[in-house]
Structure 1
Amino acid sequence: MQYKEWRAAFDHAVTLPDAKINLAQAALLIAADEYPELDISFWLARLDNMADELRSRFPAQRDAQTVIPILNTYLFDELEFHGNLAEYYDPRNSYLNDVLERRTGLPITLSVIVLALAQRLRLPIYGVGLPGHFMVKWRDAENEIVFDPFNGGEILDRRGIEARVRASSNPILPFQSDWLEAVSTKYILFRMLQNLKQIFVRAEELQRAWQVVDKILLLDPRAGDEIRDFGLLSLRLGANRQAAISLEQYLLSHPDAADADLMRVYLRRALEQVERLN
């Protein structure tokens, strides 16, 4: 399939109400940028088989104290899924098919595997978007248990959560209770795409960054920073008409932004290029 077809498939997947979005399918559609011949059904079946294996191991009474150890043993001891510290910024850590194949990835993609299995098994496990480090939590009427798929499913108390955030994001950041709020499926996809955007921008992989920002804007068409960056990437790629459209949109909605004057310079540059080609 071509990029436009994969883009349309992603757009369709994420326009559903959040609770109905198939997280694993949408995450695999992100990977289609890198793998245009990706067989999404193959990888969804892989997750189905993993869920079936876990289902056979669970007792009739599924409580947190029983299920989490079984889940952790299967994923992190038997299958040996693990966080990729050595090659943290390898894009493959953000592509779900690669993570399933290589059994290593980022905190968020390893969490996506847990969440995808939880969806299939109807387990009360939710994403937790901590600053700098994504985790999951079991939440029911009796328990709220946070555990870290990047570190073998380690269960963390408040002090452990604070320490992990300080190690990965901000060494002086105090614990905030809203860190533990369950995040939406769209937020998870947005954060996965943000990781890829940072990788590709840093590596000057402009076309790949452009495709990532294009998808971010499907998730949130009013994201000001992404509209601006889409314009700037378009300008650098020679897509001057799109650059002018995006930069003008950014300035109309953010006329007093700190970078507004600079963006007006880029907008004029894009418009000059458009006029020159007409």
Structure 2
Amino acid sequence: MDLVVTDLRVPQPLNAPPTTERELTARLRAHGKSSMGEFPVLQAALDIAAYARLQHNLPFPDFDAVIAQMNELSHAAGDWVAIYGTKPPAEEQVDWLRQVMHEQGNFQGAMQNYDASENADIAAVIENRRGLPVSLGLLYIHIARCCGFDVEGLNFPGHFLTRLIGDEISAIFDPFNDARILEPQDLRATLKRFHGPTAEMDLLFTRGVRDRDVLIRMQNNLKFRALRESRLDDAVLVVERLLLLEPGNGVFWQEAGLIHQRLGNLRAAVLAFENAVETMQEPALSIRVQSLLDEVRSQLN
């Protein structure tokens, strides 16, 4: 995962995803080619949600209504900027986002049925007003950008957090818990809650990540749960979606190969491992994948 300090950027208008696999594939590949400052994180999340529905033969939600709900909140957020005319301190930015997202929009963390797949489907999250930390964080990022605020997701492990960057100070907040601002002691407590009492903070945990990594993290939630529940067919579909966004990611190709191998799809595993060897950034990992490739090829002969 690349760690970055994000640039200020205002989202483009949202569009309903296309309804065919060919068009959605082209759209997701185009998102994947977006530069760091141009990746349309909410649009890409809507498109990937639509693609997942096609993969599972599920009906589409009313995407126009979903987008209208977000536009209503975006306009409410933008009205604040028009009234005040200047960017406030970071903590006041968080307060305003809380009013728009939690008090007006009624978005909350999915305390019940936390592991339900709909909590990582951005269209369902918008319809139900419930989601995971990362899916709610993605929406906070979108609304903050509509205000012209400088916002980024963080590399915090186990529980997604976001940061608003002010002119003088920044504010880290928890999108899952009503945008509560977290002080250093809160960050340590959160880390220990998810990783045990011996876990210690690292500077990497509060580094900013690319917008596409926010969406990737959301998809990884689905992948990890599918693997944990031995739903390999579902897991490989998630990896296919990730590869549309990042076709040059050797780790994703390796994951695809391993899952296909476990499913007995040996020819698909060979193709995936071949792509992994070509795209893997670390030589040691490339050597490891080459051995996996040789193993699967021997099974085909």
Please give the TM-score of this superposition, normalised by the length of structure 1: 0.86
Distance 1:33 1:150 in 2: 25
Counterpart position of 2:3: none
Counterpart position of 1:19: 37
Structure 1 residue 168 and structure 2 residue 185: aligned? Answer: no
Distance 2:26 2:266 in 1: 23
Structure 1 residue 93 and structure 2 residue 119: aligned? Answer: yes
SS of residue matched to 2:154: strand
Counterpart position of 1:266: 296
Counterpart position of 1:47: 70
Give the count of matched residue pairs: 270
Instruction: List per-residue Cα deviations over 1:101-134 (Å, max 9, x = no partner).
Output: 1111111000001001122221112111201111
Distance 1:241 1:5 in 2: 26
1:118 to 137, 141, 144: 144
- Structure 1 residues 170, 227: CA separation in 2 closer, same or farther (over 3 Å shift)? farther
Give the CA deviation at 1:140: 2.3
Counterpart position of 2:12: none
Structure 2 spans left out of the alignment, 5+ residues: 1-18, 55-59
Counterpart position of 1:7: 25
* Bigger mean CA offset, 237-246 vs 193-202: 237-246
AA in 2 matched with 1:31: A
**Is the Cα–Cα contact under 8 Å of residues 129 and 179 in structure 1 kept in the other structure?**
yes
Counterpart position of 2:103: 77
Distance 1:260 1:170 in 2: 36
Distance 2:37 2:286 in 1: 35
**Is the Cα–Cα contact under 8 Å of residues 270 and 293 in structure 2 kept in the other structure?**
no
Please give the TM-score of this superposition, normalised by the length of structure 2: 0.80
Q: Which has the higher contact order (CA 8 A, sep 6+)?
A: 2
Distance 2:79 2:247 in 1: 42
Structure 1 residue 61 and structure 2 residue 86: aligned? Answer: yes
- The percent of aligned pairs where both chains have the same amino acid is 25
SS of residue matched to 1:133: coil
AA in 2 matched with 1:19: G
AA in 1 matched with 2:73: M
SS of residue matched to 2:160: strand
Give the CA deviation at 1:239: 4.1
Counterpart position of 1:146: 172
Backbone CA RMSD of aligned residues: 2.4
Counterpart position of 2:205: 179
- Structure 1 residues 68, 255: CA separation in 2 closer, same or farther (over 3 Å shift)? closer
Distance 2:235 2:298 in 1: 23
**Is the Cα–Cα contact under 8 Å of residues 36 and 210 in structure 2 kept in the other structure?**
yes
Instruction: List per-residue Cα deviations over 1:151-187 (Å, max 9, x = no partner).
Output: 1111011111121122123432211223222211121
